[in-house]
Amino acid sequence: MINAYHSLEKICKALRLDRIPLFDPENKVKIALNSIIVTYNCFYMLMITVVLIFDAHMEASEEHVFTYIAMASWILEMIMEMNTVCYHNNHFVTDRKVIIQIYAKEYFFFEILPLIFEGRTSPDTLFNVLLHLPLLLKIKGMMIILKKLEFYIL
């Protein structure tokens, strides 16, 4: 886990994410973006479910566009969460390193695994379903975001 944290910290420094200002978790723009991302994730998971269960197929370009939008929204969500001040153990955390540590410990698994496996397909239906199982982890990530939205809005 420590290696994952150090790797994440190196990526953040390489991408110059330390220059992004920390977001207030109660910022209306952040709340709106999180709401849009969660809504799109629900739509995307419904679409993937219909494709898998009913063996429905869209045009390849359309399917790729939806996948790319989902992946871009997941990456945007990760960057936003790593740059958002948070409450942890009843403390208001404003140190970026501590925020990244919290994110790496509690949320990173739910965000990265679906990102790695998404977009992969197989002609075998069973294997195709297995490739999309990590999307279930994204549901857990969405539930975390919804709990945070509920906390910040109320």
Q: Mean per-residue pLDDT for 69-81?
A: 90
C-alpha–C-alpha distance, residues 25 and 102, integer Å: 15
- On average, the pLDDT of the chain sits at 84
Window from 39-48, 92-101, 118-127 with minimum mean pLDDT: 118-127
pLDDT for the residue 1: 55
Q: Mean per-residue pLDDT for 51-75?
A: 85
Bridge partners (DSSP) of residue 92 are: 87
Bridge partners (DSSP) of residue 93 are: 86
Do β-strands 91-93 and 86-88 pair in parallel, antiparallel, or remain unpaired?
antiparallel
Q: Mean per-residue pLDDT for 116-141?
A: 82
DSSP output for 61-113: HHHHHHHHHHHHHHHHHHHHHHTB-EEETTEEE--HHHHHHHHHHHTHHHHHH
Residue 25: which residues within 8 A CB-CB, separation 6 or more? 84, 85, 86, 87, 148, 152
Length of the chain measured in residues: 154
Is residue 70 very low, low, confident or very high in pLDDT (cuts 50, 70, 90)? very high
Is residue 40 very low, low, confident or very high in pLDDT (cuts 50, 70, 90)? very high
Is residue 63 very low, low, confident or very high in pLDDT (cuts 50, 70, 90)? confident
Q: Using the 8-state DSSP alphabet, how is residue 133 labeled?
A: T
Bridge partners (DSSP) of residue 86 are: 93
| Burial of 114 (C-beta count, 10 Å sphere; 0-12/13-18/19+) | buried
pLDDT for the residue 32: 92
